[in-house]
């Protein structure tokens, strides 16, 4: 809270200094901020203010400006850069680590990103291009290729000297050990170096049994490894076990957040890479297909209703209550689906223990169906004076909430078994199912027991 | 994937060894596993197998058994412990760090947890009880109270000796520096110690400007700090700035996952602490209130439909198509809501920049409404031969998707401004709104233009 208040104060000052054009003071203020705070400040400025503040800072302190852009996330960051010339971007991109530069350049319009890569120093652009060759969402794409490694023939004393001469290597806590052909052979913690005498060979104190990720490992899998084993960093190797990079826990946190966002979005039918400020035309295009599928399924439900038009024609009250059955089924299904999909994502739920989950969800569905169905029946009896209509509503709700619970469990587990992301397709299937079953059971029962419903 | 395959193989062996009662071999196998892998294996075993495997391991290697239980998460972990005697639990709880023990004990049935605290060594139970006194979801609750601190009067050489004599302190990468009254005054990185001569006073090389969290800071706020500033750990201080604990990044990862789960759950009306294997009775009780509210709002929507019973009585086809309007509004609202709620959670969206988001969402809503409305109108025209019914459906869809977009943006932002979690209440409000508006606009327009709808 205190940190937030400080940022708000800085934000107010930035806006004021921009308005009165006090560039000297503004520059001083901006330069004192942490990149993460700058990113938050940029995020709250209007587009024009943001451009102005960024330009000012970029000219004086390109590194800080680019670190802030990096913290904005690749999409927003690239949008801020995209108004500048390829020359400027190329110069600025070389101020930050290659993995961060690659992420930003990847989001620039295609022509611009090609021009930027052309203009960067050959060595730097080579590294960035290499990173961009790995598939998205793999270890290779998010790793930092500048990894600090020690030779297995060194002593502890030599290792410390090596560390002292490489002061600009950042975030070193595990020291990776490689053989003469750069194969990853072990790891030593920084702390361990302090506990033994300088003559000790590294080989003697290193741990040879260490975890690593392959360049083509999915980033979600890497995140799971780092999180379950409480690692601070994980080395990345190529197919020959040669050390090519490192992924630190701060990058893993970004992956975990992104994957959580993706899960939340998929359940709601939103593309994983959409953000609050994605341009309207792009959002529209991204959301339309899912809404289109939903329209199709809505017509399917409408078709089921149309089968009973004769019944509704005679008892209009059915039209009043039928949305309740479908709606409650949909809500119950969403609850089940969410618990199951999240359980799969967190690794708690597998095919092996799915029977237990199914029985539980079915029991919860029927239980809630009975309680809420009776409550609904009572309301209908009181307001419409017809106990049979109430009982039909109750029965349809119980049936539909049972269907919701079983489908909400089995569909995501089935998708997972078929190697499809369970969050992706589940909600479309399930709301269709609860709509169709809801209308069918309610209107079907009403048709069967019609003679008790007609005014006598 | 390779790691998963290995665990599956181990799991098969564990099941087989349990079946044939080969306890010696089983114990050997279990003892070779990492706690995180053991937790996954326990998670896939049937209840009886899990009990048996845990008992066996707990007797021989209490520490590893408890580390695995800890990795299962407090709720599942406590359920596994709850069948044992208070004496056993008290003995086992002392094998793991106090913060992990506190989390587990907090989830035991009340009587059992009191008995366990009574039976623990006074010093240990005191530490656990202290932790349990902090509010849930605060820094104090999740911190590790065993924090390694150095006196500001030490030299670098003395600090290294101190570190060498305290070999059991885990995960040290920042060394916190305190004054004689234990006030936090600075931090030194482990690496920095290696780069200077042993006589250097700590005071000279420490960074005095460091981030810390107060014991009562919300864990989500702590996680945001650690994530934005890429920290590996954050010291926790009391109201007098005395150092009382440390939170490491691995705990922060758990917080981030839990908070993401909570957000996903709240959007679906599920309690934040429910898991796939929460007992059925408890799940039912937790989900019922939200479904109850939904039933109430469903009756509100039914009431709106009942206002138009006269119209439906004359044109039954309206009952067939009215769910489409409500359903599409609900789906569009869910998409908007999800993007906005997540944008707020990630700190990208604030009141300050909400106008831009509102305009964008309104444009997307109307755009999708026009496209899908026209498609729906075409279907109705073809299948029912009535262009006016199609146009009314189209108009109602556009109106409702506009309402969905504006409400989906403004309601979560409003709740946030009123300091209510935007994910908590939004979806109830919004589906009610889209149902009510959907039925009202469609049936209302149909009533106004009734003469074009009746067979001539």
**CATH code, domain with A387:** 1.10.357.20
Q: Is position B143 within any domain?
A: no
Interface pTM, i.e. ipTM? 0.75
The pairing of strands B243-248 and B233-237 is antiparallel
Q: Is position B80 within any domain?
A: yes
Q: Do A191 and B163 make contact, defined as CB atoms within 8 angstroms?
A: yes
Q: Is position B142 within any domain?
A: no
Do B18 and B26 form a contact (C-beta atoms < 8 A)?
A: yes
Q: Is position A270 within any domain?
A: no
Q: Do B265 and A342 make contact, defined as CB atoms within 8 angstroms?
A: yes
Q: Is position A249 within any domain?
A: yes
Partner residue opposite B291 with nearest CB, options A163, A250, A332: A332
Q: Is position A9 within any domain?
A: yes
B124/B184 same-domain check: no
Partner residue opposite B323 with nearest CB, options A249, A269, A302: A302
Q: Do B173 and A173 make contact, defined as CB atoms within 8 angstroms?
A: yes
A214/A299 same-domain check: no
Q: Do A260 and B257 make contact, defined as CB atoms within 8 angstroms?
A: yes
Query: Tell me: the pLDDT tens digits for A160-179?
Result: 888 877 766 665 678 899 99
A8/A120 same-domain check: yes
Q: Do A324 and B298 make contact, defined as CB atoms within 8 angstroms?
A: yes
**CATH code, domain with B175:** 3.10.580.10
Interface subset of A 235-254, CB within 8 angstroms of B: 249-250, 252-254
Domain end position, chosen among B86, B115, B137: B137
DSSP output for A203-223: HHHSBSS---EETTSBHHHHH
B221/B74 same-domain check: no
A227 to chain B nearest CA, in Å?
7
Q: Is position A113 within any domain?
A: yes
User: What domain count does chain B have?
Assistant: 3
Q: Do A298 and B249 make contact, defined as CB atoms within 8 angstroms?
A: no
Residue of B nearest to A365 (CA): B284
Q: Is position A349 within any domain?
A: yes
Neighbours of B239 (CB within 10 A): 8
CA–CA gap between residue B29 and residue A403 (Å, rounded): 42
Q: Do B280 and A371 make contact, defined as CB atoms within 8 angstroms?
A: no
Does A346 contact chain B (CB < 8 Å)? yes
Q: Please name the residue that has the structure tokens 């050990």.
A: A177
Residue of A nearest to B278 (CA): A360
Q: Look at the alpha carbons of B388, B389, B390, B393 in this order and tell me if their dihedral is positive or negative.
A: positive
A186/A238 same-domain check: yes
What is the pLDDT tens value at each position of chain B, 456 positions in all? 456 778 888 888 899 898 888 888 899 999 888 888 888 888 888 888 888 899 999 988 989 999 999 888 888 888 889 888 888 998 898 888 888 888 888 888 888 888 888 888 777 777 777 778 888 889 998 898 888 889 999 999 898 888 877 766 655 678 899 999 999 999 988 878 877 888 999 999 999 888 999 999 999 889 988 988 888 899 999 999 999 999 989 889 989 888 888 888 887 777 777 777 788 888 888 888 888 988 998 999 999 999 999 999 999 999 999 999 998 998 899 889 888 988 888 777 877 778 888 999 999 999 999 999 999 999 999 999 889 999 999 999 999 999 999 999 999 988 888 888 787 666 767 888 899 999 999 999 999 998 888 876
pTM across the whole model = 0.76
Does A292 contact chain B (CB < 8 Å)? yes
How far is Cα of residue A115 from the mean position of the Cα atoms in its chain?
Answer: 30
pLDDT of residue B1: 45
B315/B439 same-domain check: yes
Bridge partners for B214 per DSSP: B237
**CATH code, domain with A117:** 1.25.60.10
Chain A hits for B436, Cβ within 8 Å: none
Interface subset of B 155-214, CB within 8 angstroms of A: 160, 163-164, 167, 171-173, 190-191, 193-195
Q: Do A368 and B287 make contact, defined as CB atoms within 8 angstroms?
A: yes
A294/A426 same-domain check: yes
A10/A133 same-domain check: yes
Q: What is the DSSP letter of B135?
A: P
Q: Which residue has the higher pLDDT, A93 or A443?
A: A443
Q: What is the DSSP letter of B155?
A: B
Domain end position, chosen among B96, B114, B137: B137
A318/A255 same-domain check: no
Residue of A nearest to B36 (CA): A228
A290/A439 same-domain check: yes
B164/B301 same-domain check: no
Chain B hits for A267, Cβ within 8 Å: 264, 267-268, 338
CA–CA gap between residue A158 and residue A164 (Å, rounded): 10
- What does pLDDT average to over chain B? 87
B10/B123 same-domain check: yes
Domain end position, chosen among A230, A265, A300: A265
Largest CA distance in chain A: 102
pLDDT of residue A83: 87
In what side-by-side order are the strands of the sheet with B184-189? B149-151, B174-178, B184-189
Do B31 and B63 form a contact (C-beta atoms < 8 A)?
A: no
Domain that holds residue A413: 280-453
């Amino acid at each position: 809270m205190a940190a937030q208040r400080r940022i708000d104060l800085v934000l107010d000052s930035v806006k004021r200094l921009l308005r009165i054009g006090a560039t000297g003071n503004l520059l001083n203020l901006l330069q004192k901020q942490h990149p993460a705070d700058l990113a938050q400040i940029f995020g709250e400025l209007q587009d024009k203010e943001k451009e102005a503040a960024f330009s000012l800072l970029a000219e004086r302190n390109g590194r800080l400006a680019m670190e802030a852009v990096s913290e904005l996330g690749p999409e927003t960051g690239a949008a801020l850069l995209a108004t500048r010339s390829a020359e400027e971007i190329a110069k600025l991109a070389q101020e930050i680590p290659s993995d961060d530069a690659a992420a930003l350049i990847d989001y620039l319009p295609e022509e611009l990103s090609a021009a930027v890569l052309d203009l960067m120093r050959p060595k730097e652009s080579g590294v960035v291009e290499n990173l961009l060759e790995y598939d998205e969402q793999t270890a290779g794409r998010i790793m930092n290729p500048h990894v600090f490694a020690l030779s297995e023939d060194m002593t502890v004393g030599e290792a410390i000297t090596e560390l002292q001469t490489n002061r600009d290597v950042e975030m070193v806590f595990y020291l990776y050990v490689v053989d003469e052909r750069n194969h990853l052979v072990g790891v030593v913690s920084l702390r361990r170096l302090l506990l033994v005498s300088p003559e000790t060979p590294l080989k003697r104190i290193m741990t040879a049994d260490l975890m690593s990720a392959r360049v083509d490992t999915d980033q979600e899998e890497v995140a799971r490894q780092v999180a379950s084993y409480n690692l601070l960093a994980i080395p990345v190797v190529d197919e020959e076990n040669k050390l090519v990079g490192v992924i630190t826990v701060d990058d893993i946190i970004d992956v975990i957040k992104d994957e959580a966002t993706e899960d939340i979005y998929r359940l709601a039918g939103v593309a994983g890479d959409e953000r609050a400020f994605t341009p309207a035309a792009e959002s529209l295009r991204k959301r339309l297909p899912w809404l289109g599928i939903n329209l199709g399924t809505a017509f399917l439900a409408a078709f089921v209703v149309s089968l009973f038009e004769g019944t509704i024609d005679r008892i209009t009250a059915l039209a009043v209550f039928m949305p309740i059955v479908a709606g409650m089924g949909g809500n119950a299904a969403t609850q089940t689906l969410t618990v199951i999909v999240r359980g799969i994502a967190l690794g708690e739920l597998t095919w092996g223990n799915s029977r237990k989950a199914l029985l539980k969800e079915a029991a919860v569905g029927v239980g809630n169906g009975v309680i809420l169905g009776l409550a609904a029946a009572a309301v209908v009896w009181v307001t419409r004076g017809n106990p049979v209509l109430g009982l039909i509503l109750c029965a349809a709700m119980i049936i539909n909430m049972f269907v919701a619970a079983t489908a909400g469990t089995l569909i995501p587990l089935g998708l997972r078994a078929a190697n499809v992301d369970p969050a992706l397709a589940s909600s479309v299937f399930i709301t269709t199912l609860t709509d169709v079953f809801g209308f069918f059971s309610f209107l079907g029962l009403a048709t069967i027991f019609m003679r008790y419903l007609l005014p006598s």
